[in-house]
Structure 1
Amino acid sequence: MATLLHIDASSRPGRSGDQPHGSHTRRLTARFVERWQTARPDDRIVYRDVGRHPPSPVTGEWIHAAFTKPAQREPWMHETLAASDALVDELLAADIIVAGVPMYNFGVPAGFKAYIDNIVRVGRTFGFDRSRPGLPYWPMLSDMRKRLVILGARGDYGYAAGERMAHANHVEPHLRTVFGYLGIDDVYAIAVEYDEFADQRLRASLGRAERRIEELTGELAKSLETAVC
C-alpha cells in the first residue's frame, strides 16, 4: 500500500466544470486522485488544502526554534514548530505528492509558499553541517523514491520550456528547485493555459491536461507495482 499526498493551493473554492469560477487545479487534482483510486483502491490518501487553510508564515521565532538542536529546544519551540512538524510528517509518509498549484502573478500562491517554507526543515528534510567538506548542506529525502506531480493553471499561454513566456514561469522551475533540494527529483508537470481567454483554446487545454493525467496515473501506478515486485 502506498500513500498519496493530495495538496490544493488555489484560493478559488470548487472545481471548474462543476461550479462557476471554480478552480482548474482543483479539478485536475481531483481527476488525478479519482483515477489513482480506481487503479490502486487500497492506497492511503492524505488531503491538505493550503489554499483555503494556509500554514502560518515563518517568523523569527520559528527560525530560532528550527535552527536549535532538538535536544536543546525549549517547550515554546516545540509548540512553534508543531504545525510544521505535521506537514513534514505528511511529506515523509508520502510516496506520491500531487500538488495543484496555479500561477499567481508568475509564481506560486502565498499559501503554497508558506507550505514550502514549513517543509524545508534543517535536520528533517535537508541536512546542514558547516564542517562538512564541499557543500555544507545535503538532501535527506533522496533515497525515499518520492514522486512529485505538479498540476497547474495559467491565465495566459506559452509558459512551457522554449515557448514565448517561459522566462516568466516561476512555478514549475521554482518547485523543481525546492523539492530537488530536499531530494525529490522525480517531477512531472501538467498545466492548463488560456484561462483568461475562456474560449475553445481553454477547453482544448483542459482536455489535453485531463488526458495526460489519465496516462500519468497509469504510468505511476504501474511503476509502483514494478518497484514492489
Structure 2
Amino acid sequence: MKTLLQITSSIFSSGGQSSQLADQFVDAWRANHPDAQVVVRDLAQNPLPHLDAQRVTAFFAQPEARTPEQQALVAESDALIEEIKQAEVIVIGLPMYNFGIPSTLKAYFDHIARAGVTFRYTSNGPEGLLTGKKAYVFATRGGLYAGTPLDSQTGYVRNFLGFLGITDVEFVYAEGLNMGEASKDAALAKAQQQLATLAA
C-alpha cells in the first residue's frame, strides 16, 4: 500500500493557498490510488521546536550514553524520520514569507536531517538515505519570484531534499497572488491545471 505524506507549512494551516493547492492535489491523487494511505503533518497545528544546543547534543550523543531527557528529544526526531521513511510520495505546501520558507518548515527540516540516519558521509561526499521517493512542492507567492535571484526557496528546498536522497522533485508555482484578483485567479487556475495533470 502506497503512503503519501503531506506537509502543511502555512501559518494559516489548511486555510493557506499553498495548503489548498496541496489538498486539491492529494484529493486527485487519492482518487487514482484509492487504497493508499495519506498522512498529514500540519506544522501550524503541531509546530516543532527550533533546533538548539540541547537537541543537537542529544542527536550527536551515542545512544547508550543519552540521558532520559536526551532520549525523549531523539525519539521526537525518530518519529518524524520514520514517518517520512514510510512515504513513497511527499507533498509540501510552501508559502513564501519574507523571501524565505516558513520557520516551522525549517524546524521540521532540522529534525529530519540526521547524520547516519537520513544521510551519511562517505569518502565521495554525503549520501542521502531517503531514496526512491517522489516529492511535489506547491509554492505560493504574493509577487513574482520564480527564476529570479529573489527566489531563495526553490534551490534551498530542492538541495535539502536532494541531500537526503529525494531527488525527484516537482515544483508547481502560483505567483502574483497579491497583485490583484485577475493575477491571483490566473495563477491559481494555472496551478490547478498543473496539479490535475500531475495527479493523473
- Length-normalised TM-score, structure 2: 0.95
Residue 171 of structure 1, CA deviation: 1.1
Q: Residue in 2 aligned with 1:204?
A: 186
Which letter does structure 2 place at the counterpart of 1:146?
Answer: K
Quick check: 1:133 aligned with 2:123? Answer: yes
Q: Which has the higher strand share?
A: 2
Query: Which letter does structure 1 place at the counterpart of 2:84?
Result: L
Which segments of 5 or more consecutive residues in structure 2 lack a partner in the other structure?
none
Q: Percent identity of the aligned residues?
A: 32
- Partner in structure 2 of residue 30 of structure 1: 23
Query: Which structure has the larger Rg?
Result: 1
Partner in structure 2 of residue 153 of structure 1: 140
1:191 aligns with 2:179: no
Aligned with 1:179 (options 145, 161, 170): 161
Paired residues for 1:38-77 under 5 Å: 38-77=31-70
Aligned counterpart, 2:151: 169
Cα shift at 1:14: 4.3
Per the TM alignment, residue 138 of structure 1 is displaced from its structure 2 partner at its CA by: 2.1
The letter for the 2-side match of 1:160 is A
Distance in 2 separating the partners of 1:198 and 1:127: 46
CA contact (8 A) 1:150 1:172 kept: no
* Structure 1 residue ranges without an equivalent (≥5): 16-22, 219-229
Q: 1:14, 1:63 → 2: CA distance?
A: 31
Which residue number in structure 2 is paired with residue 109 of structure 1?
A: 102
Q: Show the counterpart of 1:9.
A: 9
1:226 maps to: none
Residues 5 and 87, structure 2, Cα contact 8 Å, conserved in 1: yes
- The separation in 1 between residues aligned to 2:65 and 2:14, in whole angstroms, is 44
Cα RMSD, aligned residues only? 1.3
> Which residue type is aligned with residue 4 of structure 1?
L
- The alignment's TM-score, normalised by the length of structure 1, stands at 0.83
| Cα distance in 2 between the residues matched to 1:134 and 1:26 | 38
Which residue matches 1:227? none
Tell me the amino acid that sits aligned with residue 77 of structure 1: Q
2:141, 2:45 → 1: CA distance? Answer: 19
| Superposition deviation, residue 172 in structure 1 | 1.5
Q: Structure 2 CA distance, aligned partners of 1:42 and 1:172?
A: 31
- For residues 134 and 30 of structure 1, what CA distance do their matches in structure 2 show? 39
Q: Deviations over 1:88-113 (max 9, x none)?
A: 11110110000001011111001101
- Superposed displacement of residue 52, structure 1: 3.1
Contact 2:135 2:168 (8 Å CA) reproduced? yes
- SS of 2:91 mapped into structure 1: strand
